[in-house]
Structure 1
Amino acid sequence: MELSSQTELLKRHLIRLKAIFEKNEPPESTKDKNFFLKVKDETMPVYELLEKWEETALKVVKERKANVHPQQITSTKENMELVLMHSYYVDARRKRYMELHNSILYVFDLLLEDIRP
């Protein structure tokens, strides 16, 4: 899968995660095994895609095909991982969540702008 389609797919996941964050209530217990397994099943494909995306994006950035700093790619991956967990566990303030969300979206859009023909 090429970088632009990976990035577009991650953007769709990001929008879905924001909706989950906004409609979900925190779990009654963070030790709820069924909830954990549900979250694990739903987030595992996103984590795997994120790993591939980071690898592909860093390659593109190192080849100077995009004007994004490698650290921005790494930070975006880390922020997306945080958003994944905060979306289900609802354990971050809305302001912090939106800062992470907007930061991720900014880098995705910046990257797409540079790599699209």
Structure 2
Amino acid sequence: MVVMQQFMQLTNEVRNVILEDCLNRYEHGKKFDRKNYDDFNQVKAETLPLFEKIEKWEEEAQAIVHKIAIFPNQIQNTKDNLEIMILHSYFHDVRKKRFMELYQSVMYNLDLVINDEK
């Protein structure tokens, strides 16, 4: 039960912090230059803990996949889409329509997990 509570807390954090920060950064943040060494290092430093948290979420989700409302491929796709969104949010190298499709997909899967618990 404690494991499930910790997973749900992590899921809420991924949804309400990481995902929302991505959207906010994409819409209002600075556009970083991939070829600028300083920009690259700043993005790398800022994103490392995010990627680690997403990796942890994916591992925990796969470990309890039989208890949650999504399938293993949805877990993997959510992780992949979140990682892509993080990079797009810094570099602004995708159209808003595509970014929002990724956002909606990740939000949908995270909401499935969150709402299933209630």
Shared fold per TM-score greater than 0.5: yes
Alignment coverage as a number of residue pairs: 113
Aligned letter for 1:13? I
1:16-35 equivalent positions in 2, closer than 5 A:
16-27=21-32, 29-35=33-39
* Alignment-mate amino acid for residue 19 of structure 1: N
Point out the structure with the larger helix share: 2
Q: TM-score, normalised by structure 2?
A: 0.89
Out of 40, 44, 47, the residue aligned to residue 40 of structure 1 is 44
Could you say what secondary structure the match of 1:87 adopts?
helix
User: TM-score, normalised to structure 1's length?
Assistant: 0.90
Mapping for residues 43-54 of structure 1, pairs under 5 Å: 43-54=47-58
Q: Where does the alignment leave 5 or more consecutive residues of structure 2 unmatched? A: none
Structure 1 residues not aligned, in runs of 5+: none
Q: What is the alpha-carbon distance in structure 2 between the residues aligned to residue 5 and residue 35 of structure 1?
A: 32
Q: RMSD across aligned C-alpha pairs, in angstroms?
A: 1.3
How far off its partner does 1:113 sit? 1.6
Partner SS for 1:114: helix
Could you tell me whether the CA contact under 8 Å between 1:14 and 1:101 is conserved in 2?
yes
